[in-house]
Amino acid sequence: MSLADYEAIIFGIISTSGNAKSTAYEALREAKQGNFSQARETLKEVETILGGLHTQQMALIQKETNGEANEFSVLLVHALDIMMDSMAVRDMINELVDLYEVVDKLKGKE
């Protein structure tokens, strides 16, 4: 794998992670407005986006299992940090959507 290919994977991870995170926040805004079905659909989009991350990450893992050393760079660490952050945000927002829905139902019973 060339250095350009390696960097393309890293920048792909960064870009995809940012897209997943911003889409997750869109779901949170929908839930805040009481649009729970739209929030859940948007969270499905997040899962699809994050699925693309797995492909990019596997390219790096396959490179290493083929005997090629991966360049351990600050850029790679940054990309993986952003990836893990987007996954944590996804998990948190899933919980918040559930919580908003419970609160909405309780408000309706008052």
Q: Which listed residue (78, 92, 104, 105) is catalytic?
A: 78
Tokens of 51: 């699925």
What's the gap between Cα 34 and its chain centre? 23
Burial string for 8-17 (b: 16+ CB within 10 Å, else e) reads ebbebbbebb
Continuous H helices in the chain: 3-32, 36-65, 74-108
Neighbours of 1 (CB within 10 A): 15
CA distance 20 to 2: 27
Instruction: Specify whether 54 is catalytic.
Output: no
Active-site residue list: 78
